[in-house]
Amino acid sequence: MKRVVITGVGVITPVGCDADTFWNSLKNGKNGIDEITRFDTTDYRVKLAAEVKDFDPTQYMPKLEAKKTDKFVQYAVAAATQAVQDSGITDNVDPFKFGVYYGSGVGGFETFTDEHTNLINRGPNRVSPQFIPKMIPNMAAGTLAIKFGAKGPCICVSTACATGTTAIGEAYRAIKAGYADAIIAGGVDSAITPLAVAAFTNCMALTESTDKDRASIPFDKERSGFVMGEGAGALIVEEYEHAVARGAKIYAEVSGYGSTCDAHHVTAPDSSAVGSGKAISDCFDEGTANIRPEEIYFNAHGTSTPLNDKTETQALKNAFGDNAYKINVSSTKSMTGHLLGAAGAVEAIAAIYALNEGIVPPTIGYSVSDEECDLNYTPNTAKETNLELAMSASLGFGGHNACVAFKKVK
């Protein structure tokens, strides 16, 4: 089996639209949550979101193309362009060995609702001919393949909030088995819209807090739901020898991947955490040896919902036993909100930066301890420490569990 490494990264997030700005925001505890500006929230119980600010799609595509493209594809193109440029991969890879494993939890939600409004208010002849190619979830992956000439495997991953992590993990497996030399992997979502916010509110998923500093508070006893975020993350996943041969910068080696399903409930995680714990332990056990728990950073899914955080705490205990108390854990969703299908990719990049700099980003806003969430969540302030392994886990609606691990290249 081949070794697999990360050679490029790119992000669009509420706390930064490039990887360095994003990482500096995280380690300094910058909060990207604020009042919703995309629509009038007068009649809404939810008032807060984590919106991407100061994003200009024409930095990454022509103005006419941007007009024909949903925001979720714009974000994906931006993040992937950063990652491709960071890696220098396109001039150094066989197009038929260059793939895309990229996904979205909900696809072009904004386009879907806009065109439905057109249908109701203006009639069927006024629905845009661009509706379908703007809306379908695979269009992010397809657009990236077209833009970068990736003629190898092109797969749209959609495992709800586990999408980004699943995409990275499956890309890792494909390269490890020799099916590709390099893959653009990641996830994207942009769904801060009236319909999506109303729907998530009514299924009891979103917090109704109006205090932006006490809204997304993972593992805190007063947590009451997640904050809707948006963005994209992209990583260049590459075969090690291929990367070395072209003199690529290597961020980290992918050392493991775990993927399971709770097979339990469409929205609620299985509180026994058997499935999620196995995804974590499978990921850790693959290619990991002689690493002490104190040298591990675990970027938790940490959504700030009562069930998720309690279940994920139990999953860590199932996977690591008493050593779970020694692991450095944090949830960067305390700063970015929940980026849905983008979360896993963005958080994997945070984990890689943490590994390389020896800095555990904080869980900000943490104030009230919970006896059912009793691990080391790195409250409020970043921690400097030696790290040898970084892990990132995601748990999605439908029971999807995914976890990826990264180690330093030696």
Q: Which residues are catalytic?
A: 161, 301, 338
Contact 301, 166 (CB under 8 A): no
What is the rounded distance in angstroms from the CA atom of residue 351 to the CA atom of residue 236? Answer: 15
* Nearest residue to 236 via CA among 248, 228, 227, 226: 248
Contact 103, 167 (CB under 8 A): yes
What is the rounded distance in angstroms from the CA atom of residue 83 to the CA atom of residue 233? Answer: 9
Question: Whats the size of the chain, residue-wise?
Answer: 410
What is the rounded distance in angstroms from the CA atom of residue 187 to the CA atom of residue 161? Answer: 9
